[in-house]
Structure 1
């Protein structure tokens, strides 16, 4: 029961914010043009500031773990490359291809990493998750840009893909965050508080926009894609990589971080990025909504299983 409460406490607040967004759209407090403006603001301002701040606050000296960072980065890259080969053979529509690839390999680690680890092992274990955020989130964003740009116009354009990567606000924020982390740069206390507050707007706003953009009527046309995306994200990816992590000797907080990385639902920002980069945003939104709901059960099962085995 305790493990179910931990899983639910991480996922349910996100889901309730999605429901709030759906409600405010239904009572006509927002319309489609205003949602488009809000989404653009979230993508270009609030999400980049959140990403920068998470990396900026990472303390390298207390959580350096080369083995864990290498395994996580290699696993994410490997899953991306395999999906890049497989998804075009299964899905014929380009706007859906990039969204499916992103939806399966990219998890909501920036939101789940710290809560899951701290819930299981306390605040003292947060450093491991924080440092991995600094490595994995920039990687997620760079590979997502490649996937979405690759299928944006129907044919590969290396210059366009490279331009999409170097000008992407999330990539730029990641680079600045890593630079600040490595150099030890710090804002004055007043400015740091402002940055934290602005970044704190990102996740609630993105979830509310997602809920407002969601349409139940569109679900019927995405049966195969949802089965593929949710099955890949919540079942296949953790089933492949978590046992490998255990075999490599990861235990305790390290394994908790890997659960958050591999078993959490699709990243909220994947919906925002899909909208901004001409991907199928309806599919991207549904992957986030249903993934957030079903992950309550799947994360619980992974945590419970590893606890029963004495690995957590």
Structure 2
């Protein structure tokens, strides 16, 4: 793509996302989105619109080049997950136990499943969303396996495998792979339904983020630990990914998608899990909020660097 088109698409996407985010913020503050609205928006996004977007992204012609790129993005993502898991134990040495656990979880995983897919599609098109869908497979596996270790003392391996296997986004990837590999045409009515459901993904995802922002006193969000985490999540991790991809000679679009997705803000699930297991829920929420706000600046900067 032309560099000017990249910049235009990037700023248009970021601006559109910010406006919808502010709409979600205002609707929550006004009470039009109730207190339990976050769960509804999250469930609809993760279980309905995002899986539809994933299936839609796989409706493309298949080639050896696409297969190689999908394998490359999967390997890059796996490398990122393993590296983040290994090094997260050394990034927060002096933090209190509960905060350290929250920060480790929020370093291993991110909000790439919601925001990342939207950004990848908006900036890199349908191929960007396709690669993002593949990228997210290792992250979702780590989220429900290694990630849960930070909040629970023991792990039920069968339960974890069931959660991963039955995750709607993982199922959507499997369905999408069948469609792409065997070039299965969907019936016109089903294809139209998938397309229209997928079109609501950005709206619901950004309303969700706005809803999260509305539930926190923004004046208390910036503090030393949240700022340090935001630096790790938004600058350090994608910077290392870019360096490693360039040194390894990874394809340009694969590199770009990997860098942008690895630079996504903290996961909303961190706050939910912190609340469920009695950790510092407010601190987890502040990490999500601050990194989300700062990502409105860092993501365009990374796109400018990658152009």
Q: What is the aligned partner in structure 1 of residue 53 from structure 2?
A: 50
Q: What is the aligned partner in structure 1 of residue 153 from structure 2?
A: 154
1:60 to 52, 59, 62: 62
- 5 Å-filtered alignment, 1:102-251, equals 102-103=109-110, 108-117=115-124, 127=127, 129-214=128-213, 215-217=215-217, 220=220, 223-250=223-250
Q: What is the aligned partner in structure 2 of residue 92 from structure 1?
A: 97
Counterpart-to-counterpart distance in 2, 1:105 and 1:82: 20
1:107–1:28 distance in 2 versus 1, CA, 3 Å: closer
- 5 Å-filtered alignment, 1:14-33, equals 14-33=17-36
Counterpart-to-counterpart distance in 1, 2:187 and 2:86: 44
Structure 2 gap ranges (5+): none
Q: What is the aligned partner in structure 2 of residue 271 from structure 1?
A: 268
Q: What is the aligned partner in structure 2 of residue 79 from structure 1?
A: 83
Structure 1 gap ranges (5+): 119-125, 307-311
1:209–1:99 distance in 2 versus 1, CA, 3 Å: same
| Count of residues paired in the alignment | 295
Q: What is the aligned partner in structure 2 of residue 36 from structure 1?
A: 39
3-state SS, counterpart of residue 203 of structure 1: helix
Contact 1:48 1:173 (C-alpha < 8 Å) held by counterparts: yes
Deviations 1:114-153 (A, max 9, x none): 43336xxxxxxx64x3542342122222222224432343
1:88–1:254 distance in 2 versus 1, CA, 3 Å: closer
Deviations 1:243-266 (A, max 9, x none): 222222346545433443344x23
Pairwise CA RMSD of aligned residues? 3.6
Counterpart-to-counterpart distance in 1, 2:272 and 2:137: 19
Displacement after TM superposition at 1:26 (Å): 1.3
* TM-score between the two structures when normalised by the length of structure 1: 0.75
3-state SS, counterpart of residue 216 of structure 1: coil
Counterpart-to-counterpart distance in 1, 2:251 and 2:43: 40
Contact 1:165 1:171 (C-alpha < 8 Å) held by counterparts: yes
Counterpart-to-counterpart distance in 1, 2:41 and 2:300: 33
Deviations 1:6-56 (A, max 9, x none): 5432322222212111101111112113443343333332333223333x3
Contact 1:50 1:199 (C-alpha < 8 Å) held by counterparts: yes
